[in-house]
Structure 1
Amino acid sequence: MSTEQRRALDSRLREAPQPDGPASIERLREGFAGFMAPFPIPAGIRRTPVEAGGRAAVLVEPATDPRPGTILYFHGGSYILGSPQTAMALTAQLVRRTGARAISLDYRLAPEHPFPAAIHDGLAAYRGLLDSGAEASSIVLAGDSAGGGLAVTTTVAARDAGLPVPAGIVAFSPGLDQTRSGASMTTKEGVDPMFTAEGMRRTGELYLDGQDPHQPLLAPAVLADLTGFPPILLQVGTNELLLDDSVRLADRARDAGVDVILDIVADVPHVFPAFVGTLDEASEALDRAALFIAQRLRTAASA
């Protein structure tokens, strides 16, 4: 356990500058991009602009020949911030560790494009991969924060549309409940160094645009039917308001007969696997995620 690393990271996150008063969407997006920019991208990775389901995307692949399979990646940012670039370090780490290519989707953001625009874009990108000849069994959906939630809801939408489900889902600290009814939304207030319940309420309102959050695609942790889902890996820290989103989705997956790994690490923050080079547990978690992806793709290839 890297106790000193965890304490230092917690202090650093708490000292990060916050906007003075209400900030515009433009300022929030600029601030988030600036916060994510220093995260290092590993060497030996090639990035190419592409299109996926009618949306811009980035193909992230090893500089040498990639192994078979595709990671369809969804970035975080509360559905109002972010881009493939803000999640590039995390995406590239998965590519380096698995040897498989990733396609990171630039899905539409609220408030300009509220729910369900992002899910429509995720489904269109997944359908586009299938239409291009990729087997569902050669695709893993992955994402962080809101993007982790999108990996889950895209799978719900794909299954409900009659499409085959992907080989697996990897979700780092996913947001899975717009009703914000998890106990950790209260018990982790003040423990979470990055978010407050009030801040999540405000960003959630931008995504919801007045719609009732009590819907499976907005609260899969409490309302989604996960029957027929592929294996799921959920990685989350104990110092998170969103902790119980993962805990409750894992319960629903288990009850639906779905293979699920709930990977909880103590005293680490939101999307802790992104902090490679700062937190030993980040690299260890990414190794576990890469093993899960490789096993899903290898299992599919041998079927």
Structure 2
Amino acid sequence: MSGEQRRALDARLRSAPQVSGPVPVKQMREGFARFMSTFPVPPGVTRTRVEVGGRPAVRVDPVGEALPGTILYFHGGSFSLGSPETAMALTAHLVERTGVRAISIDYRLAPEHPFPAAIDDCLAAYRALLAEGVAAQSIVFAGDSAGGGLAVTTTLAARDAGLPMPAGILGFSPGLDHTRSGESMTTKERVDPLFTGDGMRRTGDLYLNGQDPAQPLLAPAVLADLTGFPPIMLQVGTNELLLDDSVRLAERAREADVDVILDITADVPHVFPAFIGVIDEADEAVDRAALFITQRIGTRKLGTLDETSS
């Protein structure tokens, strides 16, 4: 662990464009897209624009022969920003390290399309994969920030619709509580280099559109029954407002007898695994995430993960 790396990253993020402040949504979207475009995409993948479940998507394939399985990826952006491209670096690193393809969904965004539009789109994508004959046990839901929350709420919606469960859920700093009742929303207010509580409530209101946040699909960390869920892995840093979203969801998973890995790394920011090559902890975290995926779908790419486990 490098304290110098983490301090440099903290300073960089504090100067980044606002993604939840008092600026127009169009400006936030443009600033977020510019900032995320600075994350390099690894060379070991190809990208193809496709349509899945009636929505645009990007299929990310490893160079060479892909292993069986699908990562169904949901990008972050506070439910009102972002696209598959803004999450492409992290998505591509997962593909490169697992040898498994990913499909990243361009779900509808608030405020034009508030709750539950994003969940509906992600569920439609899952239905479409199942209808194509892709086995549920070969699919892992993954996402960062709001997309990590969608990985959980899409699973809730799938279970309640009687669909088979995916093989696993992977959330990078997932947003899991629109009631904003976690203690870390207060205790990490000035520690988090990216977000403020007021800013998160503002973008949250765009998604809520006046609806009560106290319902399972909006606050799964405090209200969801996770009975029957597949194994879950949550990766989160201690320097973020959303820390307790993961902590509390992990507790609910334990209470529901669901396998759960709560992977907390000290002194790192929101969605820290995206900063591969910037902080050592990011590379290590993505290795752990890739191992989770391959274990869930029963494949293993020969190389780094096998070498480190031998």
Corresponding residue number in structure 2 for 1:269? 269
- For residue 15 of structure 1, report the CA deviation from its aligned partner: 2.2
- For residue 17 of structure 1, report the CA deviation from its aligned partner: 4.4
Corresponding residue number in structure 2 for 1:204? 204
Counterpart of 1:272, as a letter, is F
Corresponding residue number in structure 2 for 1:49? 49
Corresponding residue number in structure 1 for 2:164? 164
| Paired residue secondary structure (2:68) | strand
Counterpart of 1:214, as a letter, is A
Counterpart of 2:175, as a letter, is G
Query: What CA distance in whole angstroms lies between the structure 1 residues aligned with 2:158 and 2:138?
Result: 15
Corresponding residue number in structure 1 for 2:185? 185
Q: Is the 8 A contact 2:273 2:285 kept in 1?
A: yes
Corresponding residue number in structure 2 for 1:35? 35
Residue pairs, 1:65-214, within 5 angstroms: 65-214=65-214
Query: What CA distance in whole angstroms lies between the structure 2 residues aligned with 1:271 and 1:227?
Result: 27
- For residue 149 of structure 1, report the CA deviation from its aligned partner: 0.1
Counterpart of 2:266, as a letter, is A
| Paired residue secondary structure (1:10) | helix
Deviations 1:197-219 (A, max 9, x none): 00001000000000000000000
| Paired residue secondary structure (2:298) | helix
Residue pairs, 1:255-294, within 5 angstroms: 255-294=255-294
Q: Could you tell me the TM-score, scaled by structure 2's length?
A: 0.95
Deviations 1:52-110 (A, max 9, x none): 11000000011211000000000000000000000000000000000000000000000
| Paired residue secondary structure (2:236) | strand
Corresponding residue number in structure 2 for 1:245? 245
Corresponding residue number in structure 1 for 2:308? none
In the comparison of the two structures, how many residue pairs are matched? 299
Show structure 2 runs of 5+ residues with no match.
300-310
Query: What CA distance in whole angstroms lies between the structure 1 residues aligned with 2:292 and 2:188?
Result: 28
Corresponding residue number in structure 1 for 2:296? 296
- Aligned alpha-carbon RMSD (Å): 1.2
Q: Is the 8 A contact 2:55 2:105 kept in 1?
A: yes
Query: What CA distance in whole angstroms lies between the structure 1 residues aligned with 2:99 and 2:38?
Result: 23
- For residue 42 of structure 1, report the CA deviation from its aligned partner: 0.4
Superposition misfits of 4+ residues, deviation over 6 angstroms: none
Q: Is the 8 A contact 2:17 2:31 kept in 1?
A: no
Query: What CA distance in whole angstroms lies between the structure 2 residues aligned with 1:44 and 1:268?
Result: 27
Query: What CA distance in whole angstroms lies between the structure 2 residues aligned with 1:22 and 1:189?
Result: 17
| Paired residue secondary structure (1:185) | helix
Identity of aligned residues (%): 77
Query: What CA distance in whole angstroms lies between the structure 1 residues aligned with 2:129 and 2:198?
Result: 38
| Paired residue secondary structure (1:140) | strand
Query: What CA distance in whole angstroms lies between the structure 2 residues aligned with 1:17 and 1:139?
Result: 34
Query: What CA distance in whole angstroms lies between the structure 2 residues aligned with 1:277 and 1:38?
Result: 12
- For residue 12 of structure 1, report the CA deviation from its aligned partner: 1.2
| Paired residue secondary structure (2:85) | coil
| Paired residue secondary structure (1:193) | coil
- For residue 23 of structure 1, report the CA deviation from its aligned partner: 1.8
- For residue 18 of structure 1, report the CA deviation from its aligned partner: 4.2
Show structure 1 runs of 5+ residues with no match.
none
Query: What CA distance in whole angstroms lies between the structure 1 residues aligned with 2:16 and 2:195?
Result: 12
Counterpart of 2:29, as a letter, is R
- For residue 16 of structure 1, report the CA deviation from its aligned partner: 2.4
Deviations 1:161-197 (A, max 9, x none): 0000100000000000000000000000000000000
Corresponding residue number in structure 1 for 2:25? 25
- For residue 14 of structure 1, report the CA deviation from its aligned partner: 1.2
| Paired residue secondary structure (1:78) | coil
Corresponding residue number in structure 2 for 1:10? 10
- For residue 22 of structure 1, report the CA deviation from its aligned partner: 3.2
| Paired residue secondary structure (1:236) | strand
Counterpart of 1:119, as a letter, is I
